[in-house]
């Protein structure tokens, strides 16, 4: 295993801030951040067959079938920008995806799991205020991360909208699904002493500070 080639896997309930924090860590470490949710939403924006199939599950808050996610990840993981390390957001998400990833990467990278802890009530509060860009996928929050112009994306000036799976009834299903599938990730991280656990119920900048502090020794 090469200690300099780091992989950080963000996991936590929906709306815990995985995407927000993995993007900031990506900028800080100059490593690519990959979100399987975003890869899947991009396939939907492009109206591909794979995107259409995944949409059937995603709008109900169910996990997309492993074969779809693995096809996307296999393609993404072979890109050259992955050589020095990378950040994963929302993958792996269950035991089968974890086993696949470890088979592929375990001997080549130093793998750390970053758990972002947030309670259910805060998840519902956050996701009711999230707005995403329908064109480029950039994410905002009405209160905690407002766009500069109300209702418009800072990146491409397109319209912002509520994510289809952010409706409260769907969020509740996503939360219970997360609880049912995340246990193997936590167990693996604890057993192998690879867990970085973060209190996600703090302001965005404080969560970022805590993450940067906890990984400082690994990246120096």
Buried b (16+ CB within 10 A) or exposed e, 197-211: bbebbeeeeebbebb
Of residues 14, 51, 85, 137, which one binds ligand AP5 by CB under 6 A? 14
Number of residues that bind ligand AP5 (CB under 6 A): 36
Which of 41, 126, 163, 208 is labelled catalytic?
A: 163
| Integer angstrom CA distances of residue 154 from 44, 62, 136, 141, 144 | 21, 30, 10, 12, 15
Cα–Cα distance for residue pair 144/123, rounded to 1 Å: 13
Identity of the residue, 67 or 191, whose beta carbon is nearer to ligand AP5 in the bound complex: 67
174 is a catalytic site residue: yes
16 contact partners, CB below 8 Å, separation of at least 6: 116, 117, 118, 123, 200
Identity of the residue, 58 or 215, whose beta carbon is nearer to ligand AP5 in the bound complex: 58
In the region spanning residues 31 to 70, those forming contacts with ligand AP5, defined by CB under 6 A, are 35-37, 40, 57-58, 61-64, 69
Can you give the binding site for ligand AP5, defined by CB under 6 A? Answer: 12, 14-20, 35-37, 40, 57-58, 61-64, 69, 90-91, 93, 97, 126, 130, 139, 141, 144-145, 165, 174, 200, 202-204, 207
């Amino acid at each position: 295993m090469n200690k300099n080639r780091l992989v950080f896997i963000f996991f936590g309930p929906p709306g815990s801030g995985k995407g927000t924090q993995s993007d900031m860590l990506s900028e800080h470490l100059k490593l690519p951040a990959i979100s399987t949710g975003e890869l899947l939403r991009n396939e939907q924006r492009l109206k591909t067959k794979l995107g259409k199939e995944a949409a059937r599950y995603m709008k109900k808050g169910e996990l997309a079938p492993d074969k779809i996610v693995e096809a996307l990840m296999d393609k993404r993981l072979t890109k050259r920008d992955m050589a020095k390390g990378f950040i994963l957001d929302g993958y792996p998400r269950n035991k089968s995806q974890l086993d696949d990833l470890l088979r592929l990467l375990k001997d080549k990278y130093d793998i750390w799991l970053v758990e972002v802890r947030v309670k259910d009530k805060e998840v519902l509060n956050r996701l009711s205020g999230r707005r995403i860009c329908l064109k480029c996928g950039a994410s905002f929050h009405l209160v905690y991360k407002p766009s500069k112009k109300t209702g418009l994306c800072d990146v491409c000036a397109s319209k912002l909208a509520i994510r289809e799976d952010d409706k409260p009834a769907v969020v509740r299903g996503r939360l219970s699904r997360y609880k049912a599938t995340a246990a193997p990730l936590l167990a693996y991280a604890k057993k192998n002493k690879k867990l970085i656990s973060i209190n996600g119920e703090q302001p965005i900048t404080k969560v970022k500070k805590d993450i940067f502090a906890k990984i400082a020794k690994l990246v120096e």
